[in-house]
Chains A and B, each alone.
Chain A
Amino acid sequence: DVKVTQSSRYLVKRTGEKVFLECVQDMDHENMFWYRQDPGLGLRLIYFSYDVKMKEKGDIPEGYSVSREKKERFSLILESASTNQTSMYLCASNIGTGDYGYTFGSGTRLTVV
């Protein structure tokens, strides 16, 4: 079975901390994505990557950056965490062609205090 693994299910961080969220996929997928999900707002795209070392801004990139040094790994970085970044973060990947359906990870629930 294909898998997208997010390193942490729950994280609690302090305001101003630098936070790393890690995502690894084992499907040799080209594309990887980071979304955040908030009640009443749904899933919103933060960043995505279609190749190693390539990145594109999504709809809400402010306050975030990403890194993709290897094909299977896509990291989301909160440079200086703020309370309004408390959310569920979801990583996804897809092959980039054909059906185009995403495979999602289980999510990381981040709380910034």
Chain B
Amino acid sequence: EDQVTQSPEALRLQEGESSSLNCSYTVSGLRGLFWYRQDPGKGPEFLFTLYSAGEEKEKERLKATLTKKESFLHITAPKPEDSATYLCAVRRDSTLTFGKGTMLLVSP
């Protein structure tokens, strides 16, 4: 059975304090690992897809990396507007299996 575990559940940072979110997964035959951002009361917004170990993708202050067992979402010098819940998902056949998310709060 596919499993996606995100840690920590919640993370509080000061503005400018860099950190990383973790997504560990167990899936037979990874067909893609996805990162989403979700603001309160809204649907998730797509950030990145990673397909193979060693792959990296960047968008503004965010960088996603992938190994054979986990993915990291690195946040460099975060700003308060980066506060959101970050979701990780793995592709299983025709559907995605999601982790429970990491709630990030960045204080000014």
Contact = CB atoms under 8 A, between A and B. Distances in A.
Interface of A: 4, 31, 33, 35, 40-43, 45, 48, 50, 56, 58, 90, 92, 96, 99-107, 109
A42 B45 contact: no
Contacts of B96: 102
Interface residues of B, number: 22
B102 to A, nearest CB: 11
B100 interface: yes
B94 A102 contact: no
Nearest to B94: A50
Interface of B: 31-32, 34, 36, 41-46, 49, 87, 89, 91, 94-101
A35 B41 CA distance: 15
A24 to B, nearest CB: 14
A33 B89 CA distance: 14
A45 B43 contact: no
B45 A104 contact: yes
B100 A101 contact: no
B42 A42 contact: no
A56 to B, nearest CB: 7
Contact of B43 (A56, A58, A90): A90
20 contacts: A33-B95, A35-B98, A40-B100, A43-B89, A45-B97, A56-B94, A90-B44, A92-B43, A96-B94, A99-B49, A100-B31, A100-B34, A100-B49, A102-B34, A102-B96, A103-B46, A104-B36, A107-B41, A107-B42, A107-B43
B87 A43 contact: yes
